[in-house]
Structure 1
Amino acid sequence: MKGHNQYRSEVEIIKDAQVNITDANTNNDKTLISLLRHEISQLKATNASLNVKLQSLREKHLPHVFLVEDDYDTSQIIAEILHDDYNVIDAGNGIEALSILRKVGNAGSSVKKIDTILLDINLPGMCGFTLCHEVKKKMKLNIPIIVCTARNTKKDVIRAISSGANDYIIKPFQEKTLVSKVNKWTKVNKRLHIKL
C-alpha cells in the first residue's frame, strides 16, 4: 500500500539527504556534516520506534520461557536457540527466580506471564529441586517445568519428577532436543507463525 507507511525507509531518507545537499549548492563541509547528522538522527529515531513496536508485538504474541540458570554461557546459548519463537526471561539463582515467580502478573511486575520454566538443578541460594517443589507443591502453579541439568543419575531424574518437574534434559543437550521439549510443554493460546 504505497503512501500508507508511517515510517520512511532508509532509501527515502538518503534520497532526501541527497536532494538537500544538492539544493544547498555549496561545498561547505559544515553544511554537509550538519545535513548528514540530521538525517542519521531521523534514521535512529525511526529504528528505535520500530524496535519498541517489535518488542511489544513479541511480548504480546510469543510465549514466555523462564530460564533459571546460573551459568552465563549456558544461559546465552539457550536464549539464542529460543529467541525466534519465545520471549526468554532469566534468573541466575533460585531465590531470585522464586521472587520473580511470586510476582508474576501482579501490578508493578515486569513479568506478566510465564508459559514454561527451564530449570537448572545446581543453583546458588536454592537448588532446583527445592525451587521446583516450591512452585508445584506449595505455590501450586500450573506451569510446566523442564529440568535442564548436567546431573544424569536415575536418582536425580526421580527426585526432579517427584518434586513436580514435567520433563528432564541432560546437559550437554542437542539443540533439537531442547526446542522439541520446550515446544511440547509450552502452552500457547496465540502464536505468531512468522519470525519476528
Structure 2
Amino acid sequence: MKSSEAAILVVDDEREITGLITLYLQREGFTVHTSDNGEDALRIAETLIPDLILLDVSLGRTDGIEVCRTLRQGVCANVPILFLSCKSEDRDIVRGLSEGGDDYITKPFSPSQLVARVQAHIRRRRTRERVNEEQIVNINFPGLDIDFRSMEVRLEGELISLSAKEFELLCVLARQPNRVFPLEELYQRVWHSDSMGDTRTLMVHISNLRKKMEIDPSRPRWVQTVRGFGYRFCPDNNCEERSSIPN
C-alpha cells in the first residue's frame, strides 16, 4: 500500500506538535487532516472515516478518552486510534488502551518512530480489509443488491447493466460504505496503476455509474462526492453530500 492512499487525522491542541507530525507524515506521502479540539475532530472523523487517528489525551473541554469512546460507537469503530500523551505511567497507558486505543505514544517522541508505527498499523488494517473483502460474495442494501460472483447489480429488483470498470468501482466503494475514497486510491484500486495526476477517466466512470443508478444524477443518492477529497458510497437515505473537509 502506498502512503498516498492513506488519510490521517491528527488531533492535538498544541500547534507545534501538530505541525511537526503533519510535516513528517506528508513527507511519507500521507494525506493529513488536523483538529485542535474534540468536537471538531468527531465531525471530521465521521465525515472522512480516516485510515488512522492520532489523538491527544488532553484536549480541554472534550478529552481524547471521551472522543475515542464516541468514535468506537460510530463509523470509526474499526479505525486504528493511537493516543498521544505526556503521561507515561502504566495506569495511564492501560486506561488509554482499555478505552479503545490501539497504541499509546508518550511525548516527547521520535517523529520517525511515530511514522513507522503509523505505517505498521495501516498495513495491518489494510491486510484485514483485504481478507474480509475476499470473503464477501454479495452485499445487500435496501433497494440495492450486488452479487460479486455473477457480477450482477439489481436496483429496486431491476437488473442494471454496468461495464466491468463501473462494476469494479461500485464494488470498491460499496465494500466500505460511508468511507471517503481519495481519487488516486480509487484509480489505483480499479485500474491497478497510478493516475499520474490525470483522474478524468475515473470521473467519467463515476458520471456513467450515476446515470445508470441514480434517479437524478445531479443529486446522487448512492455514489456521493466529498468535494476536495473524493467519493463515498452512501447506503443511508439520510446521507448528505459534504462540500469540503477542512485540513
Same-fold status (TM-score > 0.5): yes
Displacement of 1:134: 1.2
Structure 1 stretches (4+) deviating beyond 6 angstroms?
A: none
Counterpart of 2:64 (choices 111, 119, 128) is 128
Letter in 1 for 2:44: I
Displacement of 1:62: 2.5
Displacement of 1:175: 1.9
1:95-134 alignment runs, 5 A limit: 95-102=39-46, 104=47, 111=48, 113-134=49-70
Counterpart of 2:37 (choices 93, 106, 120) is 93
| 8 Å Cα contact 2:9/2:45 also seen in 1 | no
SS in 2 for 1:143: coil
Give the alignment's TM-score, normalised by structure 2: 0.47
Percent identical pairs in the alignment equals 27
2:21 maps to 78
SS in 2 for 1:90: strand
Over 3 Å counting, the alpha-carbon distance change for 1:167 and 1:180 in structure 2 is: same
* 2:9 is the counterpart of 1:66: yes
2:110 maps to 174
Displacement of 1:180: 1.2
Number of matched residues? 127
SS in 2 for 1:125: coil
Q: Deviations over 1:58-83 (max 9, x none)?
A: 99x42000000100010000000101
Displacement of 1:176: 2.3
What is the distance in 2 between the residues matched to 1:116 and 1:171? Answer: 19
SS in 1 for 2:83: strand
Displacement of 1:164: 0.4
RMSD: 2.6
What is the distance in 2 between the residues matched to 1:145 and 1:126? Answer: 16
Displacement of 1:99: 1.8
Letter in 2 for 1:150: C
Say which one has the larger Rg.
1
Q: Deviations over 1:128-159 (max 9, x none)?
A: 111111111x2262100001111111111111
Unaligned stretches of 5+ in structure 1? Answer: 1-57, 105-110
SS in 2 for 1:83: helix
Displacement of 1:101: 2.1
- Give the number of the structure whose residues are more often strand, by fraction: 2
1:2-81 alignment runs, 5 A limit: 61-81=4-24
Unaligned stretches of 5+ in structure 2? Answer: 131-184, 198-247
Letter in 1 for 2:52: T
